[in-house]
Amino acid sequence: MNESATLPDQMRLARHHFLNDAPCCPTGLIERARRLGPSRTAIVSANAALPMLSCRAAVNAGIMEPIFVGPKEAIHTEAQNIGWDISGFKIVDVEDEEAAAEASVALVREGRADALMKGQIHTDILMRAAVNRNHGIRDGGRLIHIFHITPPHSDRPLLVTDAAVNVAPDMETRKAAIRAVVDVARAVGIDRPKVALLSATEEPIPTVPSAQESRELALWATENISNAVFSGPLSLDLILSREAALAKQLYEDEVAGAADAIVVPDIVSGNVLFKSLVYFRSACAAGVVVGGRVPIILTSRADPPETRLASVALANVLSNQKP
């Protein structure tokens, strides 16, 4: 029997992803983060295979200084399973998910962590600690999730917001999302981002509420945000394909067919969009939550290590943008 057959399913899945899919990680994003140096990242419930493999990759890439939060014995066991000596790193020993979330948020509040990374913990438990009115890490604004999506062997990202946190965002939340995605675009090197407001049509027709709202948001953004270009409503084909845009005679629309970012009207459309790119185009979707004191790396437990590595890199870049 080979070694991998004796490992738990999660470890086998982690190793498979890490060995076979690593080329999808955007090298330009990793290099940008490496130049900034490692970020102090609290790994919330670090006692699992994928978080441990991801941390080792990030440390080896020079972009993370991990702070492991969770049951100390289990964390050491996971490190030993992959042959990694973590004796030089800090471990905050707590027993359960709630305690890990609270301890990690406290590290941020005390100025001892530059980012949070979801480990073996349910998203709602982590986010509940993050948004706690008395002990959380909100800065008074809205929390927005942003994906930095790249196809294999490409460094040109498509940013998508909000596909994971805000279920049915109101107009003010979508305005916050527009501001956030412009800031992220600039942080990763897009000086004059082209932002599309997604709907099912390019006309603001009354029967499609998101189309009317997208037009209103595009006009608001054009008036209130400089050094960026906005267009909406636009359907997905007009966002991604210049040929489709020309067929609809959108000759002067700078965003159509050349978008750097997409702001979606709800979580369903955003979630379907990013997962379609991941599963049909093998894209790498680095995801972070912005709007708090530090970026929150909110990857799924099913995500491979290269996705987590790219997310660490994005969080690193964004944490260095704070004044």
Does the pLDDT at position 5 exceed 80? Answer: no
User: Where residue 253 falls among pLDDT bands split at 50, 70, 90?
Assistant: very high
Say if residues 29 and 314 touch (Cβ distance below 8 Å). yes
Nearest CA to 187 among 142, 148, 244? 148
Residues 166 and 276 occupy one common structural domain:
yes
Q: What token pair was written down for 68?
A: 């492991």
Residue type, 122: H
pLDDT digits (tens, 9 = 90+) for 41-90: 999 999 998 899 999 999 999 999 999 999 999 999 999 999 999 999 99
Q: Which of 32-36, 66-70, 232-236, 301-305 has the weakest average pLDDT?
A: 301-305
Question: What local confidence, expressed as pLDDT, does residue 322 receive?
Answer: 57
Angle at 233 between CA 146 and CA 178, to 5 degrees: 30
Supply the mean pLDDT for the chain: 90
What is the C-alpha separation between 117 and 40, in angstroms, rounded?
Answer: 10
Residues 225 and 135 occupy one common structural domain:
no
SS (H, E, C) 188-254: CCCCCCEEEEECCCCCCCCCCHHHHHHHHHHHHHHHHCCCCEEEEEECHHHHHCHHHHHHCCCCCCC
pLDDT digits (tens, 9 = 90+) for 185-222: 999 999 999 999 999 999 999 999 999 999 999 999 99
**Domains: count for the chain:** 2
Residues 158 and 101 occupy one common structural domain:
no
Residues 235 and 119 occupy one common structural domain:
no
For tokens 């369903």, the residue is 268
Q: What is the DSSP letter of 22?
A: G
Q: What is the CATH number of the domain that holds 207?
A: 3.40.718.10
Does the pLDDT at position 180 exceed 70? Answer: yes
Residues 253 and 206 occupy one common structural domain:
yes
Q: Identify any residues that bridge with 263 across adjacent strands, giving them in sequence order.
A: 161, 197
Q: What is the CATH number of the domain that holds 21?
A: 3.40.50.10950
Helices (H), the chain: 9-20, 27-36, 49-60, 72-81, 97-109, 123-130, 171-187, 209-224, 236-240, 242-247, 267-281, 305-319
User: Where residue 35 falls among pLDDT bands split at 50, 70, 90?
Assistant: very high
Residues 159 and 270 occupy one common structural domain:
yes
Residues 80 and 180 occupy one common structural domain:
no
Residues 197 and 90 occupy one common structural domain:
no
308-321 burial, b if ≥16 CB within 10 A, otherwise e? bbbbbbbbbbbbee
The mean per-residue pLDDT over the stretch 253-257 comes to 95
Q: Which domain holds residue 263?
A: 147-286
Nearest CA to 91 among 103, 81, 108? 103
Residues 271 and 192 occupy one common structural domain:
yes
Strands 296-297 and 194-198: unpaired
Residues 61 and 132 occupy one common structural domain:
yes
Q: Identify any residues that bridge with 41 across adjacent strands, giving them in sequence order.
A: 66, 115
pLDDT digits (tens, 9 = 90+) for 270-319: 999 999 998 888 899 999 999 999 999 998 767 777 888 999 999 999 99
Does the pLDDT at position 10 exceed 70? Answer: no
Residues 74 and 23 occupy one common structural domain:
yes
What is the C-alpha separation between 92 and 96, in angstroms, rounded?
Answer: 12
Question: What local confidence, expressed as pLDDT, does residue 220 receive?
Answer: 98
For tokens 């991990």, the residue is 66
Does the pLDDT at position 15 exceed 90? Answer: no
Does the pLDDT at position 141 exceed 90? Answer: no
Residues 259 and 179 occupy one common structural domain:
yes
Percent of the chain with pLDDT over 70: 92
